Amino acid sequence: MQKVTPFLLFEGKAEEAIRFYTSTFKDSEVGNILYQENGMVLYATFTIKGQKLMAIDSMIEHGFTFTPALSLFIEYDSGEELEEMHHKLSDNGKVLMPIADTPISEKFSWVEDRYGVSWQLNMMKK
């Protein structure tokens, strides 16, 4: 049993984000989506590369959203796949760190997607 599940709180874009992530990442799928009476997401599960995540649409407006202080870290074996994901995730989002090598990474990128979720994309040096 998985002990820690990342939980994403959206304001009306949960299903759109889930469908974007599961169509963008290989080995990803939508689990369950339960809806509120107004059509917003009450509870949803999905997986990205085998990692289970949960998401909802908040029933109230909050004075906060996502921050790069917490990000989802994805490991790649292929530089081409990392570059492809960098471009897809940063489309209508922000590049926080362009693709570059680092002391421990052959390629590394940090992006914020169109929903405000922060992603670190990494390919370790061999």
Max Cα separation, the chain?
51
Q: Residue 38: name the closest of 18, 54, 19, 60 by CA.
A: 60
| CATH code of the region 72-124 | 3.30.720.110
Would 7-57 and 72-124 be classified into the same CATH topology?
Answer: yes
The full set of domain ranges for the chain reads 7-57, 72-124
Residue 57, SS3 per DSSP: strand
Domain with residues 7-57, CATH architecture: 2-Layer Sandwich (3.30)
Q: 96-113 pLDDT, tens per residue?
A: 999 999 999 999 999 999
Do 115 and 17 touch, CB atoms closer than 8 A?
A: yes
How would you write the pLDDT of the chain (126 residues) with one tens digit per residue? Answer: 668 999 999 999 999 999 999 999 999 999 999 999 999 999 999 999 999 999 999 988 888 889 999 999 999 999 999 999 999 999 999 999 999 999 999 999 999 999 999 999 999 998
Q: What is the pTM of this model?
A: 0.91
Residue 3: the pLDDT is: 81
